[in-house]
Amino acid sequence: MSSPNPTSMSPTAAHRELVDHKWYRYRVCAPDPDEPSLAAGSIEQDGKTVRVPLSAWSAPDLDGGEPQDVRIARENMAIEACLGCRVMVACNRYANTVDADGHVTEPQGVLGGERGLDRHKRLIARRHQVVAAAPDARFQTEQKQAVLRALAVHSDPLEVAAAAGLDERTANWQRSHLVRLLGLPRDASRGDLLAAAAGRGLLDGVSVVEDGKDVPAIVPPGRPAVAPKPAKVKRRRAASRARSIPRPRSISTVSSTTARRVRPVQLSLWEIPSPDNIVSLESASRLEAAA
């Protein structure tokens, strides 16, 4: 069954619209006053009128769940009954609303002729729905043009930002914006983005480098915001060079080493200087006085 288009109504407003419907009291899933275990509505099977139990619209609370064939038969019976209900559209609209947490308001049971699993699949499809591409005028900004030209040549985020003359955060934001404006999914690659841009005539006269076509068009989170500063690298290298230069020995170390190398030498008698060459350190008068 094809349900109505999803609504932007809040769950409260959609539920109020449902219960205020003039035929809400006569809905087919309302309990029969005479037999509360059966629904007020009925279906035709093999030319016979079959009463539908109220349990057909919701799964029973059983350990291990119900068998698949039993579940399918139960749900088909409820869906067939819904097709003849006058409040089916309003019921389906309410069941497909989304709560504050982003979940389907009614994730279980058959409502508005639709299974809970079908409503969940419909919500996922809406989340991944690709919007129509934007007009060319939206791309004619200085930053977007610069990012497109840089992305045509480079694949590394830092190189793209540098070539575009932007910081990395701004360049990455513009890449994400370009993907959305071109009507591409978020998992599109760099090659997909460039191909879509070239098809729109946004890369006329720009040579595209084919390397890195599989690189994501949107930079994944977790990359550093800026490149490491080269000054720190230079300081580390200077420190390593300083550690590699041998430290000079102290003077005391040199003196002690030299002293250990000096050995006493026995002088020969012929090497003793003659008395004429001996210079006295004291005067003769002082020596006589001392005697």
Domains, the chain: 11-127 (no CATH), 131-227 (1.10.10)
Amino acid at 176: S
Low-confidence ranges of the chain (pLDDT < 70): 1-8, 129-135, 213, 222-291
Q: Which two tokens stand for residue 118?
A: 């079908």
Q: Is 285 helix (H, G, I), strand (E, B) or coil?
A: helix
Residues in Cβ contact with 169 at an 8 Å cutoff, skipping those fewer than 6 apart = 225
Would you give the DSSP letter of residue 166?
S
Closest CA to 96 of 113, 120, 78, 76: 120
Q: pLDDT averaged over the chain?
A: 79
Q: What is the pLDDT of residue 56?
A: 93
CA distance 29 to 58: 11
> CA dist 209 to 195, 198, 222, Å?
12, 13, 26
Amino acid at 24: Y
Tell me the whole-structure pTM to 2 decimals: 0.46
* Beta strands at 48-53 and 38-45: parallel, antiparallel or unpaired: antiparallel
Answer yes or no: are the C-beta atoms of 133 and 181 closer than 8 Å: yes
Answer yes or no: are the C-beta atoms of 56 and 39 closer than 8 Å: yes
Q: What is the pLDDT of residue 242?
A: 53
How many CB atoms are closer than 10 A to CB 164? 24
Q: What is the pLDDT of residue 70?
A: 92
Pure H helices in the chain: 11-19, 68-82, 88-95, 116-127, 142-153, 157-164, 168-181, 190-199, 230-244, 251-261, 284-290
List, in sequence order, every residue forming a beta bridge with 216; answer none if it has no partner.
189
Q: Which two tokens stand for residue 161?
A: 């930002």
pLDDT tens-digit series, residues 119-175: 999 888 877 765 555 567 778 889 999 999 999 899 899 999 999 999 999 999 999
Q: What is the pLDDT of residue 89?
A: 94
Answer yes or no: are the C-beta atoms of 146 and 156 closer than 8 Å: no
Amino acid at 231: A
List, in sequence order, every residue forming a beta bridge with 49; answer none if it has no partner.
44
Amino acid at 124: I
Q: Which two tokens stand for residue 207?
A: 């040579």
Answer yes or no: are the C-beta atoms of 55 and 81 closer than 8 Å: no
Name residue, tokens 């698949």.
68
Residue 13 CA, chain-centre distance (Å), reads 35
Q: Which two tokens stand for residue 69?
A: 């064939």
Phi, psi dihedral angles at 181 (to 5 degrees): -65, -30
